[in-house]
Amino acid sequence: MWPEAGSGFEADPSSPAGQLQGEARFLQGVSSDGSRIRRAALWVAFGVVGIVSFSWGVTYLLQHH
- Name the phi and psi angles at 14, rounded to 5: -90, -5
Three-class DSSP category at 33: coil
Query: Could you tell me the residue ranges of all domains in the chain?
Result: 35-65
- % residues pLDDT > 70 (the chain): 78
pLDDT at 59: 95
Q: What angle do CA 16, 20, 22 make, to 5 degrees?
A: 115
C-beta neighbour count of 64 within 10 angstroms: 6
Model-wide pTM > 0.75: no
* Dihedral-angle region of residue 47 (phi above 0 means left; psi in -120 to 50 means alpha; beta otherwise): alpha
